[in-house]
Every structure is written in C-alpha cells, then in structure tokens.
Structure 1
C-alpha cells in the first residue's frame, strides 16, 4: 500500500473457533489475516475458544475445562474463552455472552465471523443489534448431516444479517446451498499466508531439508500435511504408496492415526511411512523443500481450500490434489500448471501422477516453478489483507483503498523450486 490506509484505525473484531498454537486451517487463517490487517493499520481483536487448560499443545479436542485468558499476538489482542464442555463439536463457553458484549461496547467497526462456528454463530443470533457483519464461509457442514440440518436455520438467520459473505474461492459457491441462497452478497476472498519462511528459508530450515533428504536416501519423498481426519484421504495415499517407490511423510495428528497405522501394516508399507506428528515450522519448511511432491488426496467438500497446498507451492513443490466438485482445492493448485489433479479416492490415479513426476524429465521442475509464481501472485498474506480491507470499505460505503501496484485490490473470480 502506498501511503496510509484510508481505513487506518478501523476496529475489527474476528470471531474464530480457536487460535494458534491450536492447529488447523481456519485457525492459521484467522491469525494470518488478523496480523496482516493490524500491519495495515487496523485495530484488531480476536475472540475464540481456549483450546487447552494450560495454553500449550496444538490439539483442540476437548480434554477438560479450560480458563478464560487474554494475551497479545504482536499487535493483535486475543481473548480465549474458557470451555466447560463440548457437545457435537459445539463448545460450551460460559463467559461468551459477557465477553462478547463487553467487546462490542468498546466499539467495533467490523465484526468478522469465521464459520462453521456454531457457538459464536448462535451467540450472535441472539444479539439484537450488531455492528456491520462479515462472514467468511470456510466450509459447509458436510459429514454431520443431522447436525447440519438442525443448524441451518440459525446459519441462514445470521447470514441474512451480514453485509457480505466471503467465500474462499468462487469455485466453492455453486455447490453450497447456503452460499447460493445469499449469492448477491457473496464475494471471494482467497486465503493467503506469509510466504517469507518458504521463499527465504532460515538456516534451521535448510538444515532440516538436509536431514529429510538424508532420510529419503535418494528415493522419492512424498509429503502429506494436515489433521488425520476422514476427508484428508490418508487411506488413499497409503494405497497409492504401495504402487510407487519412495517414502511417505505424514505431518499431522488426529483421530485416524491408529487406524491408519494398521492400514499401512496391512498394505505392507509400514516401513516406508514416517508418522511425523506435529512439526516445528523450520522442520516443516525443510520437509517441503526436500519432498518430491505434496500429496493432497482429500475426498470431500469439507476440504474447501487447502492452505498446505499454498505452503508447498511457495516452496516450489508440485501438488498432487483431487478434483473435488465445487471445492477450491483444484483451483488453488491447477492441473498441469502447478501440479496434477486426479479423481477423488483413486489410489491408482494418484500413483500414476506420482510416477509421472519421477519419470518425465523436467515435469516436476516446471510445475514447481509455476507453483511458486502463482503463490507469490495470488496467495500472499498482504494481498489477502489488502483485499479484505477493500471489501470492508466497499460494503461500508467508504473510499476503497488504493493498493500497491503488486497487490491486486480485488480478488479474481478465477486465477489466472528454485
């Protein structure tokens, strides 16, 4: 941005589910957006659930009561609400009404809710007067069909009150009944990340890269990054591994880990899988740099975007993803441009795509180069912040800030290893 923001000092309150160090794509996005907006001159606060009793760890599975506490993430004020229980993935937070009303009374120019987020959404539904409301719709409720059906009227009630509903990609909108119902107020806001650690790796990341390469011992190194949950397609990846050479590094934790380990044993690939769990940032950057490709075989629209694809692309790493109908996944990394896209749940097709990267001269390098270019052009955190503040200004009837020449002011409906 050249010169100060017209919206400098804008008071923004984000309502998330959790906040790092809690893991997850929505959590990472809320942190990245909040920090980037604060860097652009906004006064930013985040209200979310406290993921653990002591504030440590990355899991947000409920393991007992947690207290309400407040801290600062650089310039971002973060209020983490204590949880008393979790029922059907809805967190019970006794302090929520009091803390929310106190935050609203301090003065809020933009209230920004991130969904799915049942607890926060229901709390807002009963507040009679809200500040200008924006909703980022990260995903439909896919698997919990009964819960989703019961919850839908409450979603619709709040979405009707929103000034704008932000979709992570245009590709997701046609397959979402909720977004289609409010199509006139839907705008795309593609997710972005701070690319600096991937474009300019630290000495520790380069050391980690060397360790990962040594572990691969010259064989292909395939990488998966994400929570071990049903829609990530981990079993498809294990079946594909049985058809290709190399080692699969699985980064993440989740409820399917024990079953996945048993599946790996049954397939005879147990010795070629590294269950890495949670990796520190430098070690993860090193893994991206050492890998042959990111495997992203997700199998449901619960996977609406896939930020780990962006991390891989910024590392000039090709992505092998899936053609999930009406999902942003194949839009983020495009077939034959930044990676290869295969049908959902097709282990044989995933294996064929992986072998292409190994066997076709120059293919992996070409895809990786284009992947990095696309990440820099479309998925930087400052690009996302610029777009978000411009969307706020447009909806509020304020002058829309003029972005730097290298930062697109409005999101594109369709976009386009060193």
Structure 2
C-alpha cells in the first residue's frame, strides 16, 4: 500500500467512546483507523471508556461500574477508563482528567476525537492547552433533541479549536448545522475497513456460506446487519418481507428485538425470520456470500454511513438502501450502480426492489461486481489511513507523506476476483 515509514514519528492519540470487543460502527472505525495508521509507522494510542466490568461481551450498555484497564491491540496501546455511572448517554469516568493529562504530557502530535462523544468532548473543552485537534464527526445528535440542543455550545467550542473537522462523506455536510458552521475546516475522510476477510474468505467463512445457503432452502436470503435500534428501519424490513419470498436473517442485538419479534408474528412472517444475534466474523462473512442482497432500510440521519454496506459490497453483494436526505448512506452504495435505493420508510418500494433482483439475476450479479470494485477503490482501511495521514500533514504544515497504493490495491482486487 505504501512506504512503511509514511507516518514514522507521528504520535496520534484517538479519543473514542468505546473500543472492540464493544460493538458499534464508531468503535470498529476507531480500531481500524488506529491499526492502519500504526501499520504506516505512526505511534498510536486510544483512550476510551471500559465497556464492561470483566472486559467480555460486546454490549456497551451500562450495567455497573467497570475498572480502568490498559492493554495492547497489536501495535496500538488502548487505555479503557473505568465507568462509575452513565447519565443521559454520558459516561462518568473519574480518572479521565488525570489519564488524559498524563497521555498529553508524553507528547502528542495529533489529538483525534470521534464524536458524538460527550464525556471526552467536555474533558477537552476544559483543558487549557491542547495539541492540534482533529474531529471525526460521525453523526449529528438526531433523536435526543433536548440533550442535543443543550450540548451544542460545548460541541461548537471544541470544533472552533480544531484544526480540521472530518466528515465521513461530503453528502452529510449540507444537512448538518454544526458542520456547515465550520465548513472551511471540514474535509471528507470516508470510513474504510479491512476488506481482506471479504475479498479472500477463510475456509470457515466458506463453510458458513454453505450452511446459510442450506438455511435459505433454495430461495432468496435477505440480510440485515446492525444494532436493533429505531433508526435501522427493522419494522420496514419486516413489512417488506411480507410482500416478497425468501428468508430474512437479522444480525445484531438491541432494545427493539422483543417488539420486532412481536411485529413479525403480527405480519405472519415469523417463520421466515432468523434472529441471528451477534455473529462471529467468519460466520458473518459467510452470510454475506450466501445472501441475495443486504437490506439497509435505515430511516434517520443517525445513520450517517453504514459500514455493513461496505462489508457487503466487498463480498460482491448488492445493497438495497434508503435515500436518507443529507446522509452518506446512499453515497456509499449508489443507486443503479452498486445497488438500489428506495424512499425512506417505504416497505412497498423495498419489496419491489428486492423482487427486481430475484427476477433479474443478471442485474443482481452486475450490481454485486460493481459494489466490490467500489469497495476496493474507496473503502479499504489502507486507503483511509493514507488519507488521514495526508490530512494531518496538510493541516500541520508538514510535507505530505508519499504513498504508492496501486500495487497492493490491484493485487487485492485481483485476488478478490474484481
């Protein structure tokens, strides 16, 4: 991908909310970016909340106090701060000021905050002196309108201090009052992932693919991936399933599962829904390979991007997503290019799009192949890390690092059959 020392000597401190094994798109992104930057020679540390008392599990819902722990994720040092409480989605971490000041005292070239992240943001607001700050704005606060309005001045204070504000896509910027207010600082940094598990599936992933195909019993296999929360559009998917053949596999956990199961019974599709919960990576990779399409019917700008779209695209899977205004979702997978985009909350349109893929396998294959090509060109973790180091250098007034991306991207594409 690049010269191995492109980020040599650069000390980067990422401030996330949580870190894997905690689930979530922001969590996965912080890990992926940190690892990839370290592979390019940067010294990378992550500061976040400790999601659980014993370090196990994937949920970051608060279920009691957790201790402060330090560990290593390959070359990345991870400090997980103990939580004493969680109030209105803001984690109370008594050791945050001390640990943050200690980390900054060791010398940091880039302080990279990932938002929404109230606890970390407030800690930076009260810090008298900071190294150059970069903010990745993953999403506006959409549903918590009162809390969002009360918190906005604190966000604006830090964004004013930041060297750059990074949007996950250009498409998200016009609909975000906060990003518009700091438009001169905003630069796009599309989220990327390690594509290799999808381009070059493991033997276990291939065995999982065979099992999922058996579960489909020769019919269409529709896939949804993500936390079972309001903006994922799960109820729209269940309504659409009532209008199409096939089985829907719902991958994820969340507070809406009980209500969604009841809705499936009411709609008469209970027997055609598999509630898969959390799937290990190989099992999920196999599901992508076996599916007919990924359903991504999200309904609010809380869904700013959708990394599961990228996973599916790398697996050559067409995407059925929604035209959320001023969201990156329909930008990641483009209508009639890598999938089909339908109106928000329109179960009939989603069903018609799904039927179109069933009735026209050649179209489904064409969209899937284009999806894989776009994933390789735009959404690989190495591409993202290289872009991030270039953005740092530009803002810091340093020479831009040199990258030679073509050989490895081309090799990966060829190995993946693009």
Q: Same fold (TM over 0.5)?
A: yes
Residue 43, structure 1, aligned to residue 36, structure 2: no
Distance 2:2 2:241 in 1: 49
Are the equivalent residues in 2 in contact too, given 1:386–1:407 (CA < 8 A)?
Answer: no
Q: Which residue of structure 2 aligns with residue 274 of structure 1?
A: 274
Q: Which residue of structure 1 aligns with residue 296 of structure 2?
A: 296
Q: Which residue of structure 2 aligns with residue 327 of structure 1?
A: 327
Are the equivalent residues in 1 in contact too, given 2:383–2:405 (CA < 8 A)?
Answer: no
Distance 1:227 1:314 in 2: 21
Residue 357, structure 1, aligned to residue 360, structure 2: no
| TM-score for the superposition, normalised by structure 1 | 0.97
Query: Superposition pairs for residues 331-342 of structure 1, below 5 Å?
Result: 331-342=331-342
Aligned length: 410
Tell me how far 1:406 sits from its aligned partner: 2.1
Which SS does the other structure have where 2:71 is aligned?
strand
Which SS does the other structure have where 2:331 is aligned?
helix
Q: Which residue of structure 2 aligns with residue 164 of structure 1?
A: 164
Distance 1:169 1:72 in 2: 30
Which SS does the other structure have where 1:79 is aligned?
strand
| Unpaired runs of at least 5, structure 2 | 409-416
Change (3 A) 1:405 1:99: closer
Tell me how far 1:6 sits from its aligned partner: 4.6
Are the equivalent residues in 2 in contact too, given 1:232–1:299 (CA < 8 A)?
Answer: yes
The CA RMSD over aligned residues, in Å, is 1.2
Distance 2:41 2:130 in 1: 23
Q: Which residue of structure 1 aligns with residue 215 of structure 2?
A: 215
Tell me how far 1:407 sits from its aligned partner: 8.7
Q: Which residue of structure 1 aligns with residue 390 of structure 2?
A: 390
Distance 2:147 2:226 in 1: 24
Distance 1:387 1:2 in 2: 11
Are the equivalent residues in 1 in contact too, given 2:2–2:40 (CA < 8 A)?
Answer: no
Are the equivalent residues in 2 in contact too, given 1:139–1:301 (CA < 8 A)?
Answer: yes
Q: Which runs of 4+ in 1 moved over 6 A?
A: none
Distance 2:193 2:213 in 1: 26
Residue 260, structure 1, aligned to residue 257, structure 2: no
Cα offsets for 1:215-244 (capped at 9, x unmatched): 101010000000000000000000000000
Tell me how far 1:161 sits from its aligned partner: 0.1
Tell me how far 1:360 sits from its aligned partner: 1.6
Tell me how far 1:386 sits from its aligned partner: 0.1
Q: Which residue of structure 1 aligns with residue 86 of structure 2?
A: 86
Distance 1:379 1:188 in 2: 13
Distance 1:184 1:104 in 2: 27
Which SS does the other structure have where 1:70 is aligned?
strand
Q: Which residue of structure 1 aligns with residue 58 of structure 2?
A: 58
Distance 1:70 1:285 in 2: 30
Which SS does the other structure have where 1:326 is aligned?
coil
Query: Superposition pairs for residues 174-253 of structure 1, below 5 Å?
Result: 174-253=174-253
Are the equivalent residues in 1 in contact too, given 2:3–2:40 (CA < 8 A)?
Answer: no
Which SS does the other structure have where 1:150 is aligned?
helix
Tell me how far 1:5 sits from its aligned partner: 3.5
Which SS does the other structure have where 2:406 is aligned?
coil
Distance 2:6 2:191 in 1: 23
Change (3 A) 1:211 1:6: closer
Are the equivalent residues in 2 in contact too, given 1:383–1:407 (CA < 8 A)?
Answer: no
Cα offsets for 1:71-101 (capped at 9, x unmatched): 0000000000011110000000011011101
Q: Which residue of structure 1 aligns with residue 412 of structure 2?
A: none
Query: Superposition pairs for residues 127-138 of structure 1, below 5 Å?
Result: 127-138=127-138
Distance 1:114 1:346 in 2: 32
Q: Which residue of structure 2 aligns with residue 117 of structure 1?
A: 117
Q: Which residue of structure 1 aligns with residue 72 of structure 2?
A: 72
Which SS does the other structure have where 1:78 is aligned?
strand
Q: Which residue of structure 2 aligns with residue 16 of structure 1?
A: 16
Tell me how far 1:3 sits from its aligned partner: 3.5
Are the equivalent residues in 2 in contact too, given 1:303–1:329 (CA < 8 A)?
Answer: yes
Which SS does the other structure have where 1:362 is aligned?
helix
Residue 147, structure 1, aligned to residue 120, structure 2: no
Tell me how far 1:4 sits from its aligned partner: 4.5
